[in-house]
Amino acid sequence: MKYVDEYRDEAEARRYLDAIASMVTRPWTIMEICGGQTHTFIKFGIDELLPPEIELVHGPGCPVCVTPLEMIERAIAIARHPDVIFTSFGDMMRVPGSDADLLTVKAQGGDVRMVYSPLDAVALAQANPDRQVVFFAVGFETTAPANALAVREAKLRGLDNFSILTSHVLVPPAMEAILGAPDNRVQGFLAAGHVCAVMGYWEYGPIADKYETPVVVTGFEPLDLLQGTYMVVRALEEGRFGVENQYTRAVTLEGNAPAQQLLAEVFTTVDRPWRGIGTIPLSGYDLRSEYEDFDAVRRFDVEAIAPPENEICIAGEIMRGLKKPHDCPAFGTTCSPEHPLGAPMVSSEGACAAYYQYGRAV
Amino acid sequence: MTDIDVAGLGACPIPISDYPNVLLAHGGGGSLSQMLVDTMFAPTFDNEWLGQLHDGAVIDIDARRLAVSTDSFVIHPLFFPGGDIGSLAVHGTVNDIAMCGATPTAITVGLVIEEGLPMEDLWRIVSSIKTAADQAGVSVITGDTKVVDRGKGDGIFINTTGIGIVDDGVDISPARMEIGDVVLVSGTIADHGIAIMSVREGLEFETALESDSASLHGLVRTILAVGGSGVHVLRDPTRGGVASATNEIAQSGGLGIRLREADLPLSDPVRAACEILGFDPLYVANEGKCLAIVDAAVADDVLSAMQDHPLGKDAAAIGTVVDDHHGRVFLTSRIGGNRVVDMISGEQLPRIC
């Protein structure tokens, strides 16, 4: 199979591991942004195969994890409406609100459905004109074009019963927030390959220059991550900073122009609160005024209650690379996938879930 | 009368064609219930025990050890590539009996039907049970039928209970596991779960993916004949996949198991589907595969014998029992890394991006 087996070749992996080990002369702290990348590192055991000088910390690249609690509560309140069909990707359904999650609402009789694409939600709206269909539009730039397409499609079809609850976040502002924090430990970045497949990587040059940090756009297979790590470590050892592209088979500097045009047509950039991190300026998307009818926040008048976060959960520090999941006193004890205290233990892209599932409990 | 050709049964008229849908009265215990038994179930399953039409079946068995297993089937959709809820209900219970090292003899069939189920669907399912039971060499000796209000069931739920005789000298259980034992699997994994996903709403693969649902006691007979007392554990990895089954075995047996990712047999289409959906095949259901944990001394012979059997041609050695991380399962990844294979909590969810 193309692009899978070759990127999991054991001999090649060994070559890169040896090359990194022979090149490294001092400790380096490297962050990968995307939760999918975190999972590959842990699932294939790469974190334990890398030389001890390389410390991997994990970034906030888990859109489920950074969706504010207040938005979860809003989703739950909307899903409880008897005339609503609430649609979402699977992960969001397990994130706990103050006293329930979307799966609880489903068990109590709410019409909550998992979909594979926002266009499925549009089709549902068309097929059920007497119901309100809401799609929980969570994600980074990777999933935003599909959501924009869904909204535009709904408008073209003249649907008045379709809306989205938007919780879109953007990667470059998050990187700035992490690098700009006074307690930042990150020295090199592996940028999220699929985000860059959409947006290109031209946004990262100014960030790399400003913070004198090397950034390598990296894919998701084990060899992608090893090659990306190699490129970052090489830059650090040589005292260089700037942007390189490891994921050349999917990413170009400019990115996907039609997708970007679609995003510009439907969304506008706004300040966004990131759960566990705080508000990051110009780090999220809202619907433009021409599409505001499709905004579920406007359509459904629900209270914007922000329940208190669990005091023990250190998700924010983990997502900024300051702590690791097993540094948390609750990890594996009071906090587990069966009863999560925070989102990173729930989401398939969460660092805590990866550490727990693949046995990185210290 | 409408004719429907069901594989193996020729063109049979649907009994009770006066009733295109199952009604509450068919489960009420009165004349319509009796008609269902007299015209559909009894003639189809036709054997001396069922023919008595008594409350229960009395069957003569010469055995010191009897294996008993029960399972309920609630699968949706009812009909899928490679099988249906009827054949699944037979294979599932036959396999549980086989995994005890027993020869399955008879099964019971309990039906909970939702009012409104098309009679044609019921007939297809009943015929499928009959075909699967014949292939497995078991008789349906007694049963029960209930009908619930429309909206209170998912078409049909089926419970089957099976009995089988454990041969003298056969002792299969996780307690018999030993350090150094080899973990064998009888063929490609994740076929069933992916086949089910492929017909669920929203996913339409062009490649035909079929469930591997099958009765395994013939294969088990072969394994026991060749491996003898060197066969320590047998398990069919159904819901939760190979990961859950090996975890249960490791916990019960009190030893560790190490799997090797590179040795897991996977068909190309299933591997591709798992990649697209972001599923780990170790956690995806199988319905026609078995795990055998055997003494290293007999492992090569048992593996060859499995590969010679029609249901075991892709059999492979996938791991070993180790004196380490007792009660847990670990995996050596394709690139030589290490990770835990844990019990999954909840369902696997498809990847998002």
Sign of the dihedral defined by the CA atoms of residues B136, B139, B140, B141, in that order: negative
Token pair in block for residue A157: 């079809």
Edge to edge, the sheet with strand A111-114 lists A111-114, A84-88, A132-139, A162-169, A278-287, A267-274
Distance from CA of A182 to the nearest CA of B (A): 31
DSSP character at residue B239: T
Q: Which residues of B touch A114 (CB under 8 A)?
A: 349
Asked if the Cβ–Cβ distance from A45 to B333 is below 8 Å, we say yes
A295-308, pLDDT tens digit by residue? 999 999 876 677 77
Under DSSP, is residue B165 helix (H, G, I), strand (E, B) or coil?
strand
Tokens 């004949």 belong to residue: B225
* Beta-bridge mates of residue A163: A134
pLDDT computed for residue A128 by the predictor: 96
8 A C-beta contact, residue A298 and residue A319: no
Q: Is A221 on the interface with B (CB under 8 A)?
A: no
8 A C-beta contact, residue A154 and residue A291: no
A72-127, pLDDT tens digit by residue? 999 999 999 999 999 998 888 888 887 788 989 999 999 999 988 899 999 999 99
Q: What is the ipTM of this complex?
A: 0.83
pLDDT tens, chain B, 353 aa long: 444 444 444 445 666 677 888 988 888 888 888 888 888 888 898 888 887 777 788 887 777 789 999 999 999 899 999 999 999 999 999 999 999 999 999 999 999 999 999 999 999 999 999 999 999 999 999 999 999 999 999 999 999 999 999 988 889 999 999 999 999 999 999 999 999 988 875 677 777 789 999 999 999 999 999 999 999 999 999 989 999 999 999 999 999 999 999 999 999 999 989 988 888 999 999 999 999 999 999 999 999 999 999 999 999 999 999 999 999 999 999 999 999 998 877 777 777 66
A162-205, pLDDT tens digit by residue? 999 999 999 999 999 999 999 999 999 999 999 999 999 999 99
Q: Which residues of B touch A335 (CB under 8 A)?
A: none
Asked if the Cβ–Cβ distance from B268 to A44 is below 8 Å, we say no
A101-114, pLDDT tens digit by residue? 898 999 999 999 99
Distance of CA A142 to the CA centre of its chain: 9
Distance from CA of A8 to the nearest CA of B (A): 6
What's the mean pLDDT in A309-325?
87
Pairing type for strands B139-148 and B182-185 reads unpaired
Q: Of B139, B113, B95, B119, which Cα lies nearest the Cα of B40?
A: B119
Distance of CA A125 to the CA centre of its chain: 27
Of B340, B344, B352, which is closest to A358 when you measure between CB atoms? Answer: B340
Under DSSP, is residue B304 helix (H, G, I), strand (E, B) or coil?
helix
Q: Which residues of A touch B335 (CB under 8 A)?
A: 8-10, 13-14, 44-46, 49, 222
Q: Is A359 on the interface with B (CB under 8 A)?
A: yes
Q: Is B43 on the interface with A (CB under 8 A)?
A: no
Asked if the Cβ–Cβ distance from A337 to B336 is below 8 Å, we say no
Q: Which residues of B touch A336 (CB under 8 A)?
A: 345
Q: Which of B201, B258, B263, B335 to mutate to test the interface with A (most CBs of A within 10 A)?
A: B335
Asked if the Cβ–Cβ distance from B349 to A45 is below 8 Å, we say no
Q: Of A238, A244, A208, which Cα lies nearest the Cα of A224?
A: A244
Angle in degrees, CA A280, A285, A291, rounded to 5? 150
pLDDT computed for residue B99 by the predictor: 94
